[in-house]
Amino acid sequence: MKKTIAPEIRYIGVDDNDLDLFEGQYIIPEGISYNSYVILDEKIAIMDTVDARKGGEWLANLEEALGGRKPDYLVVQHVEPDHSGVIAAAVEKYPSLQIVCSAKAATFIGQFFEGKTFNIKTVAEGEVLELGKHSLRFIMAPMVHWPEVMVSFDPESKVLFAADAFGKFGSLGDELFIEGTEDWSCEARRYYFNICGKYGAPVQALLKKAAAAGPAIIAPLHGPVLRGDLSPFLALYQTWSSYGVESEGVFLAYASIHGGTAEAAEKLAEILKAKGCPKVAMSDLTRDDMAEAVEDAFRYGRLIVAAASYDGGLFTPAHTFLHTLQMKGYCKRKVALLENGAWAPSAGRVMKEMFAAMKEIELVAEPVTIRSRMRSADIPALEALADTILA
């Protein structure tokens, strides 16, 4: 892999291809990278460490990049353990290392490394760390995606070290860089909405400050380094963080116990397509990746949830889906509901209550109810539901 991202700036991150769940919940079939960089100037700054799982490999990468020199600073932009796992080992190996971080990060480092003593220099918004030719201007980015986060901009190389922002699931293999969003957006979107989705306003604030800096390269803490024309990446982040609609179409998520609800959902998809809906994306909430369902709910402007009733409430996979949407700040969408119930349908009531707790959700109609299985007599109601959500 080519490891120089700009003159004097080297990538020293690592791939993790055998972690089953990222952050204890997200499947990562293509792995994940924990990115880290080193700026080899008169003074040497390391930009974040990695997850302790890959500490040995990272320390070896660092040693190789240093070529016998000693690092001066370890800039800790984010203290979440996937980036701070090797802080203590790095300081043990290079005792003169000074940690540079926000005041809140210093508190968190104390929590994670109780009993360890570090030489910490705290920095605030706009402060500059001079390295020689390069310098780092720190931009506070609270809640992107923890409160202590900051990003760093080097005017010499125009590299924006972006912490979790612009991150993506998937390990890097031999491809450190990406130009254009075509091969980036899918897993970057799943990453964004599940990791940062709730924090749209803080991401918007960061985007303003980042755009003003005028980066030519964005170096995130996960996934490839972005270069070339950055405007498509920035435009997607603008859409995502403002909860705008990225793609025209309907996302139809269903949770079926014995197949009756799934059958009705399939029929509804057929009706939507026949009525000219440009795209009907579907997810079986009982089997498909929940993080991908969350991503698609945000991607499209219209959502239909079809769910079975269960224990006097809502079938659990649909409940988990709606609860997750609520947690992630789901808003500004048109929603239609379909419930199934053999004797006392209750899914519609619970879904209505759950969507009522979300902001700017337009429930376009009362839930359509089917009893056990869809009958031909139910088709007009499905047609009307399709017309309403597409209107």
Closest to ligand FEO by CB, 240 or 315: 240
Q: Is 15 in the site for ligand FEO (CB under 6 A)?
A: no
Nearest distance from C-beta of residue 222 to ligand FEO, angstroms: 6
Closest to ligand FEO by CB, 112 or 146: 146
In the region spanning residues 115 to 174, those forming contacts with ligand FEO, defined by CB under 6 A, are 145-146, 164
Q: Note whether 322 and 354 are within 8 A (CB).
A: yes
Q: Count H helices, E strands: the chain?
A: 12, 25
Q: Which position among 9, 99, 221, 337 is part of the footprint of ligand FEO (CB under 6 A)? A: 221
Closest CA to 254 of 297, 308, 211, 299: 308
- Only segment of 74-82, 177-185, 186-194, 345-353 that touches ligand FEO (CB under 6 A): 74-82
How far CA 111 is from CA of 79, 91, 104, 107, 121, in Å, comes to: 10, 17, 11, 6, 17
Nearest distance from C-beta of residue 51 to ligand FEO, angstroms: 9
Phi, psi of 365 (to 5 degrees): -165, 170
- Only segment of 77-85, 124-132, 321-329, 366-374 that touches ligand FEO (CB under 6 A): 77-85
Distance in angstroms (rounded) separating the CA atoms of residues 361 and 355: 7
Q: Is 78 in the site for ligand FEO (CB under 6 A)?
A: yes
Distance in angstroms (rounded) separating the CA atoms of residues 73 and 38: 10
Distance in angstroms (rounded) separating the CA atoms of residues 378 and 1: 58
* Tokens encoding 299: 């991607």
Closest to ligand FEO by CB, 54 or 145: 145
Distance in angstroms (rounded) separating the CA atoms of residues 305 and 303: 7
Q: Which position among 222, 227, 302, 334 is part of the footprint of ligand FEO (CB under 6 A)? A: 222
Q: Is 82 in the site for ligand FEO (CB under 6 A)?
A: yes
The CA-CA-CA angle for residues 304, 308, 311, to 5°, reads: 135
Closest to ligand FEO by CB, 78 or 334: 78
Cα 101 to the center of its chain, rounded Å: 23
> How, if at all, do strands 368-370 and 135-140 pair?
unpaired
Closest to ligand FEO by CB, 107 or 286: 107
User: Which residues, in sequence order, are CB contacts of 22 under 8 Å at separation 6+?
Assistant: 28, 32, 82, 169
Phi, psi of 187 (to 5 degrees): -80, -20
Q: Is 48 in the site for ligand FEO (CB under 6 A)?
A: no
Please give the size of the binding site for ligand FEO, defined by CB under 6 A: 9
Nearest distance from C-beta of residue 147 to ligand FEO, angstroms: 11
Q: Is 80 in the site for ligand FEO (CB under 6 A)?
A: yes
- Only segment of 76-84, 98-106, 316-324, 342-350 that touches ligand FEO (CB under 6 A): 76-84
- Only segment of 6-14, 75-83, 202-210, 294-302 that touches ligand FEO (CB under 6 A): 75-83
- Only segment of 10-18, 79-87, 319-327, 382-390 that touches ligand FEO (CB under 6 A): 79-87
Which parts of this chain interact with ligand FEO (CB under 6 A)? 78, 80, 82-83, 145-146, 164, 221-222
